Amino acid sequence: MYERRSELTGGHNLRRLLALTAAALITVASAAAQSTLSNAVSGRATATVVAERLDHPWSLAFLPGDGPLRMLVTERAGRLRVVTADGKVSAPIAGVPSVHAVNQGGLLDVAVAPDFAQSRRLYLSFAQAVEGGARTAVVSARLADMALTEVKLIFAQADIVAGGHHFGSRIAIARDGSLYVTTGERYVAKDRAQALDSHLGKVMRINPDGSVPKDNPFVGKTGAKPEIWSYGHRNLQGAAIHPVTGKLWTHEHGPKGGDEINIPAAGKNYGWPVVGYGIDYSGQKLHDSTGKAGMEPPVHYWVPSIAPSGMAFYTADRFPAWKGSLFVGALAGQHLARLTLDGERVVAEERLLGERNERIRDVRQGPDGYLYVLTDERNGKILRVSP
């Protein structure tokens, strides 16, 4: 199991599995996929440990201000901390909602409101335990000193599924202030990604107070959840707003092969599980084909899977060679992918930090122009990365 195993286990067994099944996976990929794989090159980057001893950190967000750099970091077990540029890790912030910290579930993404300096508003996504199972949920809250106040549930999946897999979930804030929230299909309910009366395997778009934007594509459509922006996704763990076009870009885990980058458009269907480039964990055929009328093809995909997590566009002037690149963390691949773009096409891929043999959970551009990544380990680290 590429994605599930990459989430739950580490290094040696997964690398052996990758080696044993890579040939089989390539046989189900198109010529384009094989070309994409062969074009990936190994590169070098410098990584400095900023902080460590974080328990499976999942997301980070930088706090605004003119003083020393500070960042919020989530730990999957349910802790939110402040970390400073000199590596000081705070005690857990009080007031974080209880989380379903089972397998891939727990405290997930953190996003800071654009007006945080005035409002102190932030958003958290997490796996929430409810009767009958768990669901992906989002709260808004105010950060007051070292506690969250005014905690409000602004989104919760209507679907309740048992188990601890495929919750998503990233939050990306659009230029108009609305929130894109990504969800997973929860693994055992993959067909629900195609159902418009379900929140599973979707990109949602909501207002900061949890209300539904009036121009969402399924508002007023009978049998459809109005929060849905796009559908037919699997397990989305990367989301970022393009710095020039303002469009949402996402990536999602495939099964054995077929991780995808998409640019989700309003009301569009991205195919899971009908079309794709992977195969089932059993080795059997999973998809009808790699494409179908009415289903959007990916911008980029990986065969074998790298198990992507975290996504950031690099816009700073500090490292001109990286400007305009898209960075994606890799869990199974244990590297940081730098993708060179030509408009909305990926034209080259460079793989960085592979020599560290660490699972990359998140990547963000810092206000100082460096990249910061999280490693997904019991002794998780924050790394500051430069060419």
Query: Which residues carry out catalysis?
Result: 166
Closest of 43, 41, 38, 32 to residue 301, by C-alpha:
32
Beta strand pairing status for 300-302 and 308-313? unpaired
CA distances, 184 to each of 105, 142, 159, 167 (Å): 11, 27, 11, 5
Beta strand pairing status for 40-42 and 345-352? parallel
CA distances, 370 to each of 148, 156, 194, 228, 309 (Å): 28, 34, 39, 34, 19
Report the DSSP beta bridge partners of residue 75: 57, 79
**H-only helix segments in the chain:** 2-8, 11-27, 31-39, 116-119
Question: Are the beta carbons of 79 and 85 closer than 8 angstroms?
Answer: no
By CB atoms closer than 10 A (0-12, 13-18, 19+), residue 264 is buried
d(CA 112, CA 109): 10
The interaxial angle of helices 31-39 and 11-27, nearest 10 deg, is: 140
